[in-house]
Amino acid sequence: MTDTRPSKRARNDASPQRLGEESTTGYKHSDAFWLRDGNVVLVAEKVAFRVHQSVLERKSVVFKDMFGVPQPENAERMEECPLVHVSDAAEDITHLLSVLYDGDRFLNMDSPISMRMVFALLQLGIKYQIDYLRDEAISVLKIVYRPTYAKYIGLKRSNNALRVTERRLTEDSIVVINLAWKHGLSSLLPGAFYVCALLPYRTLADATVRVLEKDDLTKLSSDDLVRCLNGRQALQSKFLRRFKFLSKTTACSDCLKPHECPESLQDRKDEDLWEHVSNIIDGDFDPLEEFDWMQWLHVCDECRMHFDEVDGVARKNMYDGLPGTFNLVSFMIEHPGP
C-alpha cells in the first residue's frame, strides 16, 4: 500500500473550538480525524472529519469524481475547507479513515480487528469502490464463516478467529446474512445461517420482521427465519443420527475384541444418548460437536479408529451439506458487489 499519510496526525490545536465540541455550524469535530492541515471536511451524522482530499482521491474513484464536481460560490464551507455531506454512519466513516490513514496497522493479518469495522469496510469499500478494502473484509468474514468443513476444522484448531474482536453472536450472524444477500456473497450464507439457526428461539423471534427495512441489517426477513427454523430441525435430526454407530450389534470388521466392543457401545448409548436428546429439546446443542468421549470408550483400538472415522465423515457431510439444509443451493453462485 502506498503511504500517503503524514508521519504524524496533525491536530488542530490552534482552533478556538476544542475537539469533540460542537461548532457554530452545529457540527461536532471528530476526535480521531480533525487534521490541522486537512483541506476537505466530510460530514456524517453531524460529525465533521477534516482530512486530505488527495488521500481520498488516491484511494477511491468515487471520491475523486465527487470532488471533481464544480462547487457554487455559496457552497457550504467549514474553516475555509469545502464541506461534503455523506449518508454513512459517523462510526463507519471513522473506521474507513482509520484504514486509509493507518492501513498497515489494521490490515496486518496478526492485528485485531472488530467485527463492526469489518462490516464498515465491506459496505464502504463497495460503495466507494475501494476494492482492496472490500476484499479484505470478505476474507475476514470467510475466516469466521467458513465455506467448507475442512476450513471450519482448520479454524477451530488455529488462532485465526482470535483476530476478530468484539463479536456479538446474536447480531453478527444476522448482519452477515443480510450483507451476503445484499452484495451477492453467497459463500458466507451457509456458515452464517448455521450460527443463526442455533440462536435461542426467542432471539430469532425478536430479530424477525415481516418487511425488512432497507438499512437495518440486524433483522431477519420472514423467509430467512423459515430457513433458520427448518435448518435447525434438520440439524437436530442429523445430530442424533451421529449416534447410530452406538446401536451396532457387531463391532468393526477388524475388531480385536468382538465379544466386548458391542457391549461397550450399548452401555455408552444407554448412558449418553438421552442426555443429548434432552439438550436438543432445551436448545443447548452443537451439531458439529466432537465426541471427545469416544477416546474413553471401552473398545479396541481398531473399533475406536473406525467409529471416529465414521463420525468424522458424518460431521463433514453435515457441514458441507449446509446449503441444502438451509435451502440455499440455488443461490450458491458468488456475485461480488459492484
According to the model, what pLDDT value does residue 318 have? Answer: 94
Same domain, 156 and 100: no
Q: Is residue 23 part of a domain?
A: no
Same domain, 33 and 85: yes
Domain count, the chain: 3
330 in a structural domain: no
CATH number of the domain to which 74 belongs: 3.30.710.10
Shared domain check, 156 and 100: no
| Polymer length of the chain | 338
CA dihedral 289, 290, 296, 298 (to 10 degrees): 90
Q: List beta partners, residue 28.
A: 22, 47
End-of-domain residue from the set 200, 233, 266: 233
Instruction: Flag whether 87 is in a domain.
Output: yes
pLDDT of residue 8: 41
- Amino acid 132: pLDDT: 92
228 and 248 assigned to the same domain:
no
Q: Using the 3D structure, point to which of 178, 210, 233 is the last residue of a domain.
A: 233
| 263-279 residue pLDDT tens | 887 777 766 666 767 77
Same domain, 152 and 99: no
* pLDDT computed for residue 170 by the predictor: 63
Residue at which a domain ends, from 208, 233, 258: 233
Regarding whether 52 and 95 lie in a shared domain, the answer is yes
Same domain, 229 and 295: no
Distance CA 175, CA 334 (A): 18
pTM of the model: 0.81
Burial of 134 (0-12, 13-18, 19+ CB in 10 A): buried
The predicted structure's pLDDT at residue 239: 87
Same-domain check for residues 248 and 292: yes
Three-state helix/strand/coil letters over the chain: CCCCCCCCCCECCCCCCCCCCECCCCCEEEEEEEECCCCEEEEECCEEEEECHHHHHHHCHHHHHHHHCCCCCCCCEECCEEEEECCCCHHHHHHHHHHHHHHHHHCCCCCCEEHHHHHHHHHHHHHCCCHHHHHHHHHHHHHHCCCCHHHHHHHHCCCHHHHEECCCHHHHHHHHHHHHHHHCCHHHHHHHHHHHHCCCHHHHHHCEECCCCCCCCCCEEHHHHHHHHHHHHHHHHHHHHHHHHHHCCCCCCCCCCCCCHHHHHHHHHHHHHHHHHHHHHCCCCCCCCCCHHHHHCCCCHHHHHHHHHHHHHHHHHHHHCHHHHCCCHHHCCCCCCC
What's the domain range around 311? Answer: 242-323
> 192 and 145 share a domain?
yes
Helix axes 301-320, 222-241, angle to 10 degrees: 170
pLDDT of residue 166: 57
Low-confidence ranges of the chain (pLDDT < 70): 1-25, 104, 108-110, 154-163, 165-170, 211-214, 245-250, 270-274, 276, 282-283, 334-338
Are residue 247 and residue 202 in the same domain, yes or no? no
Q: Are both 211 and 153 inside the same structural domain?
A: yes
pLDDT in tens, 79-120: 889 999 999 999 999 999 999 998 867 776 667 788 899 999
Residue 120 within any structural domain of the chain: no
Residue 261 domain flag: yes
By three-state DSSP, how is residue 82 classified? strand
pLDDT of residue 265: 77
Q: Are residues 100 and 158 in the same domain?
A: no
